[in-house]
Amino acid sequence: MRQAGRYMPAYRALRQKHGFWDVCKNPELSTEVAMQPIRRFDFDASIVFSDILVVPDALGLGVTFAKGEGPVFSHPLREASTLDTWNAEAAMEKLVFVPNAVHALREAIGTERALLGFAGAPWTLFCYCVEGQGSDDFRRARVMLHAQPELATRALSMLADITARLLVAQVHAGADAVQIFDTWGGLLSPFEYERFAIPALKSICDKVQAAHGKVILFVRAGHHLLPHLETLPVDGVSLDWRTPWKSARSLFPTRALQGNLDPLMLLAPDAEIRAATKRLLGEMGDFKRSIFNLGHGIVPETPEHAVDVLLKAIRS
Amino acid sequence: MRQAGRYMPAYRALRQKHGFWDVCKNPELSTEVAMQPIRRFDFDASIVFSDILVVPDALGLGVTFAKGEGPVFSHPLREASTLDTWNAEAAMEKLVFVPNAVHALREAIGTERALLGFAGAPWTLFCYCVEGQGSDDFRRARVMLHAQPELATRALSMLADITARLLVAQVHAGADAVQIFDTWGGLLSPFEYERFAIPALKSICDKVQAAHGKVILFVRAGHHLLPHLETLPVDGVSLDWRTPWKSARSLFPTRALQGNLDPLMLLAPDAEIRAATKRLLGEMGDFKRSIFNLGHGIVPETPEHAVDVLLKAIRS
């Protein structure tokens, strides 16, 4: 959940000198920023520094980050002919920096810590590809599901194919598990999610697990979808901050659960951080198959001190 | 769900000549725009033309709508001293145009159709008051719940008081029922919703029902909160497009349910509109205590023809 990021002064200092894509694409720099939170907080696991939009960029959609404005695509997906230009082999060659970053990070952290790779879920990537920028409802992408279902299904299938390749490459490079971020999954009804999102996710799980990698799935605002994820062979489910841990545990009794402290709690007074942490730990019960994490990305305004308070509360 | 709105050419024509606040505040104009969809589509119920932000504006927060940019507050709520300037009596005097609009609309529609009033939920109003503009996560408001809980509780209580007065005034002016829009309720965890949002909603329900009005509650993206609404004495629950009707019905077997076609389906081909409508009607079963509606606001790009297709599918 943005383990490395702007909440750390060390990260901001490094980013003064290097652009975001430059850090992602240079294994020394990406390892350095990924190691910053490990050195500072001694987390049990490390996650590669990358971005979910590396995939559409490698497919030729031209992704740039306007300062403070989010991503902008120079060539969004609007018609079927665009898909003919998508080439998974060529994209994978461009994306070699991702497994390279995983490999370098594994060298740096050794074998004592878990290492996570990640990618965006096909539906979430589809949202950005179609909209061509951030959005709060991704209206164009959602309409396309019903107005051009063949195009949508083909695009989702192609995105699933390249995402699976990228995740398998990260497993081969040393990742113990991969996390799939379905940031915009929560916009879909269960009917739509089952029809469009789940088949793409299923094919990814099968390929990653065939390569002996574990799969963790995060669906933001996906509480209504949880019962529909049961058929997916994911090893772990990452919960956003609004999902009660106990209801998720009763849905997934045998899988790993990850989450789900509200990252905004880290902007509250220390006593409130401790109280919320204690509540969540209480819900986790015996801690079996439980990974403590935030329930969404840590925000840039977070003081490092708050992370210290959180970790002390967990570890004690 | 924005029954009157930009999807109607007649509405756009009227808005060429009159500003948004001017239409809200003039009973003849607000009745005219509310009647446009009744005349064009012969809906079974009519809803007063207004906006949830009339309340913070009447409290002196200075709400304006920047073109295409959403609301902007000249005096957002940032500290406790601001609350000392809030005066419910004075605000109610300013808000008399709302019951006046309800009264005029009742005169226009007669007694054959149901008439709905509405207001924003205290939590949603609090979000806008604190943030001072739209947001996708209302970070400042959510942090305030934990960093300044006394201030937040006091503000929510004051917002509940004036909202209850406004809704009771609408009932007295002829509304059969009122809808409370908790557009940003879904941002909260059940723990937060129970602590901060529900007490405010409960006090509103009690007052409206004491005045013999019915209460319908809409919580956008609130699937995770539905089990926690059971203690609220609402007469009806309005569902957003992602909540499966059947699961809501099993939670609320004796109450009215309203919803919940995805408004974006109205941008799909006719056959898809018909199929989605048929699916939803099938889920409703015997239609008892069921109000067909959209599951969120109709979008401006919607062709009127699509609404015809929808209504024909329902009525047949």
Q: Residue-wise pLDDT tens for chain A (316 aa)? A: 899 999 999 999 999 999 999 999 999 999 999 999 999 999 999 999 999 999 999 999 999 987 777 899 999 999 999 999 999 999 999 999 999 999 999 999 999 999 999 999 999 999 999 999 999 899 999 999 999 999 999 999 999 999 999 999 999 999 999 999 999 999 999 999 999 999 999 999 999 999 999 999 999 999 999 999 999 999 999 999 999 999 999 999 999 999 999 999 999 999 999 999 999 999 999 999 999 999 999 999 999 999 999 999 999 9
Nearest residue to A169 (alpha-carbon basis) of A255, A258, A89, A83: A89
Q: Would you list the DSSP string of B174-239? A: T-SEEEEEETTGGGS-HHHIIIIIHHHHHHHHHHHHHTT-EEEEEETT-GGGGGGGTTS--SEEEP
pLDDT-above-90 percentage for chain B:
97
Phi-psi region of A68 (alpha: psi -120 to 50; beta: other; left: phi over 0): left
User: Which residues 6+ apart lie within 8 Å of B143 measured at CB?
Assistant: A264, A267, A268
d(CA B178, CA B122): 14
Two structure tokens written together for B227: 């089990």
> What tens digit of pLDDT does each residue of B15-72 get?
999 999 999 999 999 999 999 999 999 999 999 999 999 999 999 999 998 777 789 9
**Beta partners for B133?**
B72
User: Which residues 6+ apart lie within 8 Å of B301 measured at CB?
Assistant: B7, B267
Contact A268 B147 (CB under 8 A): yes
Whether ipTM exceeds 0.90: yes
At residue B66, the pLDDT reads 78
CA angle B210-B213-B219, nearest 5°? 110
Contact A264 B299 (CB under 8 A): no
Contact B186 A242 (CB under 8 A): yes
Nearest residue to A162 (alpha-carbon basis) of A54, A270, A286, A288: A54
> What tens digit of pLDDT does each residue of B159-188 get?
999 999 999 999 999 999 999 999 999 999
Placement of tokens 């941002």 in the chain: B187
**b (16+ CB within 10 A) / e for A146-156:** bbbeebbeebb
d(CA A258, CA B24): 47
Contact A190 B242 (CB under 8 A): yes
3-class DSSP assignment, residue B2? coil
CB B55 within 8 A of CB B87: no
> What tens digit of pLDDT does each residue of B225-239 get?
999 999 999 999 999
CA quadruple B122, B128, B132, B138: dihedral positive or negative?
A: positive
> What tens digit of pLDDT does each residue of B185-196 get?
999 999 999 999
CB contact B282 to A (< 8 Å): no
Two structure tokens written together for B115: 């008439």
**Which residue in the list B2, B142, B249, B255 is annotated as catalytic?**
B2
SS (H, E, C) chain A: CCCCCCCCHHHHHHHHHCCHHHHHHCHHHHHHHHHHHHHHHCCCEEECCCCCCHHHHHHHHCEEEECCCEEEECCCCCCHHHHCCCCHHHHHHHCCHHHHHHHHHHHHHCCCCEEEEEEECHHHHHHHHHHCECCCCCHHHHHHHHHCHHHHHHHHHHHHHHHHHHHHHHHHCCCCEEEEEECCHHHCCHHHHHHHHHHHHHHHHHHHHHCCCEEEEEECCCHHHHHHHCCCCCCEEECCCCCCHHHHHHHCCCCEEEEEECHHHHHCCHHHHHHHHHHHHHHHCCCCCEEEEECCCCCCCCCHHHHHHHHHHHHC
Q: Hey, which bits of B16-69 come out as E strands?
A: 45-47, 63-66
Per-residue CA distances from A53 to A4, A24, A58, B251 (Å): 17, 11, 9, 39
**Beta partners for B292?**
B259
At residue B24, the pLDDT reads 96
d(CA A54, CA A56): 6
Written as one letter, the residue type at A54 is: V
Q: Which residue of B has its CA nearest to A266?
A: B143
Q: How far is B264 from chain A (nearest CA, A)?
A: 6
At residue A66, the pLDDT reads 78
Contact A143 B243 (CB under 8 A): no
Q: How far is A66 from chain B (nearest CA, A)?
A: 18
- Can the peptide bond before residue B293 be classed as cis, meaning omega within 30 degrees of 0? no
Contact B242 A268 (CB under 8 A): no
CB B47 within 8 A of CB B118: yes
Contact B188 A242 (CB under 8 A): yes
Q: How far is B100 from chain A (nearest CA, A)?
A: 34
Best probe of the A interface among B131, B189, B273, by most A CBs < 10 A, is B189
Nearest residue to B202 (alpha-carbon basis) of B226, B180, B175, B227: B180
Two structure tokens written together for A80: 């079927």
Best probe of the B interface among A224, A251, A261, A280, by most B CBs < 10 A, is A224
Number of Cα atoms under 13 Å in the Cβ half of residue A230: 10
Q: Which residue of A has its CA nearest to B228?
A: A244
Q: Which residues of B touch A279 (CB under 8 A)?
A: 191
Nearest residue to A239 (alpha-carbon basis) of A179, A298, A295: A295
Q: What is the pTM of this model?
A: 0.96
Give the catalytic positions of A in this structure: 2, 6, 15, 51, 128
Placement of tokens 């300037």 in the chain: B85
Contact B147 A189 (CB under 8 A): no
**Beta partners for B260?**
B293
CB A114 within 8 A of CB A45: yes
Q: Would you list the DSSP string of B58-97? A: IIII-EEEETTTEEEESS---SHHHHTT--HHHHHHHTTH
At residue A67, the pLDDT reads 76
Q: How far is B21 from chain A (nearest CA, A)?
A: 25
At residue A10, the pLDDT reads 98
**Which residue in the list B7, B11, B128, B193 is annotated as catalytic?**
B128
B240 tagged catalytic: no
A-facing residues of B in 133-152 (CB < 8 A) are: 136, 139, 142-143, 146-147
Q: How far is B147 from chain A (nearest CA, A)?
A: 5
H/E element, B258: strand B256-261
Q: Which residues of A touch B142 (CB under 8 A)?
A: 262, 264
At residue B67, the pLDDT reads 76
At residue A297, the pLDDT reads 96
CB A222 within 8 A of CB A192: no
**Which residue in the list B51, B161, B182, B240 is annotated as catalytic?**
B51
H/E element, B293: strand B290-294
Placement of tokens 């308070």 in the chain: A309
d(CA B302, CA B110): 28
Number of Cα atoms under 13 Å in the Cβ half of residue A296: 21
Q: Which residues of A touch B279 (CB under 8 A)?
A: 191
B-facing residues of A in 204-263 (CB < 8 A) are: 221, 223-224, 241-244, 262
Contact B221 A143 (CB under 8 A): no
B106 tagged catalytic: no
* Mean pLDDT, range B137-141, rounded to an integer: 96
d(CA A3, CA B170): 50
